[in-house]
A and B are shown apart, each in its own frame.
Chain A
C-alpha cells in the first residue's frame, strides 16, 4: 500500500504541536511517506538558514528505527541530562488493520458484493487513518527537537536530517534488548530509591509528587478513552450493517414499506459516517492528546529522576569528601569528584526548572487547543446528524 501524506492534512493531526517556535532558522517536516510491507519510509524535509548545513533545503528518507536511534542518543547523552527529552514516536502498528484486511479477503465469498466493497473501503480508510497518525507522531518528535534551543544543535540530529544515505542503524538485537530490559529494571528500582529522598527545593519536591500522580492519572484516562472510542467505533460498524440489511429489505419489492426501508437505510448510512467521524475525531483530539502527555510526563519524570540521581550522587560525594578529609586520604580525588557531582547537579537543576515550567505551559496550551477543537467538532457532527435525522423524519412523516 502506497500512501502519500500532504503537508496540509497534518493540520488535523498535530495534536500536540503547540507553542513551538517555528522560526526560519530550522524548519523540519515530513513531506511524504511510503508504506511498504512491514515498514514505513518517511521523507524528512528540512529548510534551514543555519550555516552548518550544506544546502538551505533538502530531504532524506528515514525509517522508524532511525528515529529511535536519534532519541536514544539524546537520552544517553550526559549533556542533555537536564532536559526533557522529547518522547520517541511509537512504532507504526498496522498489524490489527492488516489482520482485518486479511480476514476480509478470506471471507469474501460469504458476503454480497456491496457488503464486501463497503467493508473494504472501511478498512482502507482505517488503514489510512493509522498511517496518517504515525506520520504525525514522527513529525511532532522532530519538530520538538528542532524547537528546543539546545537539542536542535545536536550533531546526531544534523546527521539525521542531512545524511542522505542509510544511517545503518540496525534495530537492537536480542542481547541488546535483554540488556535494555535489565537496565530498565535497575533504573526503576533506583528511581524508587531516588524518589524517596526528600528534596530541599520545594519546587522540585512539589513537581515530583505532582508528576507521579499526574502520570498515573493520564495513563488511566488514556486507556479508558481508548476503550470508549473502540465501543463507539463498534456501534458505528453495527449501524453500517443495519443499513445494509435495511437496504436488502427495501429492494425486495416496491411497496410503500420497501421505499420506507430504503429511505431509512440511506439515513443510517449517512449517520453512521458521521458517528465514525465522531469516533475518529475523539481519537485524535482526546486519545492522542492523552497518549502524548503520557509519554511526555514520563520524560519529565525521567528528568526528575536524573536530577534526583545527580543529587544523591552529589550528597554521596559530599559524604565521601568528608570521610576522605577525616582520614586525610585521597582528598584531592574526593574533592574533584565532589566538584563534578556538584556541577552536574546544579547544571541539571537549572535547566530542569525551566524545562518543567515549559512543560506545564505546553501542556496547558495543548489541552486547550484540543479540548476546544474537540467540542467544536462534536457540535459540528451532532448538528449534522440532527439535520439529517430531522429532514428524514420530516420526509417519512410526510409520506404516511
Chain B
C-alpha cells in the first residue's frame, strides 16, 4: 500500500484514508438525494420579497441586545483582526440580517412548511398537521405579534419536530433564554441542523407566546448538513463528507456553501481548536474516534449491514461534533472553524496521523501531562471545583457502565431479530405441512406476524444504538474534554505557584546580594524581581480568568447536557412507543385468524 503522498508513516496511511490528492476514483455520491434540493427550491422565490419587506420592519428593539451580544466574544480568543472585523459588521448588519434570517431560514429548509404554519398560529401541535405549502401570506409575518411569536414558535418547532431537523438555540446565560438542540440521524436528505442564536427582544410584548422561551428572539441561523461521498478505490479510498452550511452570519462569505472534508480534516480541526482554547479553560467538543476496523471494512467494499451502519454512525457523529462546535459561542468565532466550513481546499491534516512526527510529539506531551497531573497537588481555594470534578468522574463511570449495557441490549435485540426471522420461516414450513386448512392458514399468518416482528426488532435495535448508545458515547468523550479543562486550570495554578516561588527566590537573592554588598549584580537582581513580580501578577490573573472560564463552561455544558439527554431519551422512548403501536397492529390482525381455526 504505497500512497503518492509524502507521509512519515506509509503503513498507517492504510487507516488514515490514504489517497492521492488527485484522486482518480470516481466520486460516488452514496446518499445524494435530489429531493433535498427540490425541497429547498420552492421556498427560494419567497425569500427576496420577504427580505425587502422585512428590512422596513422596526429594528430598534433588536439593536440593543445585538450590541450586548457582540460584546460577548472574549477578546482573548482572537489575537488577530477577525474579532474586530466581525464584531463590527455584525453589530450593524446583524440586526438587518437577523430579520432576514428569521425568514430565510424557514424558507430554505424542511421546516419551512411547519414554520410557515407556525407563523400563522403558534401552537405546539403545528407538526401534527400535514406540511403546509410554503406559500404563505407575507402580511402575516410582519405583524408585531408574528415577529415576536416566531422565535417561540421556532423553539416549539424544535421540540416537536418529527422531520428530522435540528434546531439549536444558542444560549447566553445572561441574556438569552433556553434553547433546545435536536439532532437528526436519518438519511442525509433529512439531516439538517439549524442554529439559531436567540436574543430577547426588549419589547417582549408577545402575549401569545406559549413556548419555553420567555422572550422572543431574532436569531442568526446556521445549518449544517453532512452527507457522504466516497472517493477512490480499494485501500486508497477515503470517505469524503459533504458539509453544507446555511447561515446568515455576516462573518461568512456567502449564505450557503458546501465543502468536502475528510475524516482527518475533522480531527485536524479538533487539534487546532484544542491547542488554542483548552489552555484557556474552554471545553472543546471532541470528534468521534478513529476506527481502523470500521474504515477498512468499508474500503474493502464489504457490502453488508455492519459497514453501512458504521458509515452512517460516523457521519452522524461527525455532524453532531460540528454542531456542538458551532453551537459554542466562543468557538464559532474562531477563524479555523470558519475556514473549515468555508474553504474549498484545505491542506491535509497530517499531524492527526498516529505515527507521524506530530503524533509522537502529542503522545509524549500527553504522557508528561498525566505525570504532572499526578504530582500537582492543588490547594483548592474554591471547593466548587473540587466537588464538580468528583461529580464529573462519578458520572463518567456510570455513563461508561450504561454504555456497555446499552450495547449489550443492542446485541441481544439484533439476535432476537435474527432468531425471530428463523422462527418465522420455521412456522411457515410447519403451516404448509399442516393438513387442517384453517390451522394451516393461521400458522402462515403467524409466520407473517413473526416476520414483521423481525423487522420491528431490527429497527428497535437501530434506535437503541443511534438514539441511546451514541448519545452516551458522545458524552463519555465530552466528559473527557471537561476533565481536560479542569486539568488546564490546575496547570495555570501550578504556573502561578511556580512563578511565586521564583519571585521568592529572586527576593532572597537580592537580600543576599545586599548583605554581601555587590552593587553590580544588585541591579540585575532588582530587574529579575520586577520581571517576576509582573509574571506573578499575570499568572494570577490568568488563573482567575481560566477559573472563571472553566466555571462558565461547565455550567453551560451541564445545561446543554441536560437538554441533550432529555431530548434524545424522549426521542428514544417515542421510538419504543411506536414499536409497541406497530406490535399491537400486527397482533390485532392475527387474532381473528387464530379464532377462525376450526
The answer on a CB contact under 8 Å between A367 and B439 is: yes
Flag if B584 contacts A364 (CB, 8 Å): no
How distant is the Cα of A325 from the Cα of B594 in the complex, in angstroms?
60
Instruction: Indicate whether A385 sits within 8 Å of B580 (C-beta atoms), given known contacts A249-B398, A364-B597.
Output: yes
Interface SS majority for chain A:
helix
Q: Mark B419-441, 1 if CB is under 8 A from A, else 0.
A: 11011001101100111101100
CB distance from A26 to the nearest CB of B (A): 29
Binds A, one of B58-66, B83-91, B280-288, B568-576: B568-576
Stretch of A33-41, A181-189, A196-204, A209-217 with 4 or more beta carbons under 8 angstroms from chain B = A209-217
Interface hit among B299-307, B360-368, B407-415, B503-511: B407-415
Q: Does the CB pair A242–B409 fall under 8 Å?
A: yes
- Tell me if B405 counts as interface (CB < 8 A to partner A): yes
Contact of A393 among B394, B426, B438, B577 (CB under 8 A): B577
Q: How far is the CA of A213 from the CA of B440 in the complex (A)?
A: 14
Say which residue of B159, B398, B576, B581 sits within 8 Å of A252 (CB atoms): B398
**In the complex the two chains form, is A364's CB within 8 Å of B439's CB?**
yes
Say whether B202 faces chain A, with CB atoms less than 8 Å apart. Answer: no
B418 and chain A: residue at smallest CB distance: A231
Segment at the A interface, from B318-326, B351-359, B559-567? B559-567
Task: Report if A397 contacts B (CB, 8 A).
Answer: yes
Q: Is the beta-carbon distance between A217 and B594 smaller than 8 angstroms?
A: no
Q: Is the CB of B436 within 8 A of A235?
A: no
Instruction: Name the one of B419, B436, B442, B573 contacting A371, with C-beta atoms under 8 angstroms.
Output: B442
Task: Say whether B588 contacts A245, CB under 8 Å.
Answer: no
Interface size bucket, A side? 35 or more
Q: Does A329 contact B (CB under 8 A)?
A: no
Q: Contacts A228-B422, A379-B588, A386-B580: A214 and B433 contacting too (C-beta < 8 A)?
A: yes
The answer to whether B413 and A224 touch across the interface, beta carbons within 8 angstroms, is no
Question: Quick one: which of B438-481 are within 8 Å of A by CB?
Answer: 438-439, 442-443, 446
Q: Chain B residues with Cβ under 8 A from A264's Cβ?
A: 569, 573
Does B337 reach chain A (CB closer than 8 Å)?
A: no
Among A207-246, those with CB < 8 Å from B are 210, 213-214, 217-218, 220-221, 224-225, 227-228, 230-232, 234-235, 238-239, 241-242, 245-246
Neighbour of A221 across the interface among B415, B427, B562, CB < 8 A: B427
CA distance in complex: A367, B435 (Å)? 13
A252 touches B406 (CB 8 A): no
Give the number of residues in B that approach A within 8 Å (Cβ atoms): 57
Contact B391 A252 (CB under 8 A): yes
From A55-63, A153-161, A163-171, A255-263, the one touching the partner chain is: A255-263
Alpha-carbon separation in the docked complex, A252 to B401 (Å)? 15
Q: Across the interface, do A371 and B446 meet the contact criterion of CB distance under 8 Å?
A: yes
Known: A210-B433, A372-B594, A375-B590. Is A220-B426 also a contact (CB below 8 A)?
Answer: yes
In whole Å, how far is A143's beta carbon from the nearest beta carbon of chain B?
22
Answer yes or no: A76 CB below 8 A from chain B CBs. Answer: no
With A and B bound together, what is the CA distance between A231 and B588 in angstroms? 24
> Is B426 a contact of A238 with CB atoms below 8 Å?
no
Do B587 and A218 touch (CB < 8 A)? no
With A228-B423, A392-B573: A260-B416 Cβ-Cβ less than 8 Å: no
**A232/B416 in contact, CB under 8 A:** yes
Please name the 8 residue pairs, one residue from A and one from B, whose CB atoms are nearest each other, closest first.
A231-B416, A238-B409, A368-B597, A371-B594, A228-B419, A224-B423, A386-B580, A221-B426
- 6 pairs, A vs B, C-beta closer than 8 Å: A210-B433, A221-B423, A260-B565, A360-B436, A379-B587, A382-B587
Interfacial residues, chain A to chain B (CB-CB below 8 A): 210, 213-214, 217-218, 220-221, 224-225, 227-228, 230-232, 234-235, 238-239, 241-242, 245-246, 248-249, 252-253, 255-257, 260, 264, 267, 271, 360, 363-364, 367-368, 371-372, 374-376, 378-379, 382-383, 385-386, 389-390, 392-393, 396-397, 400
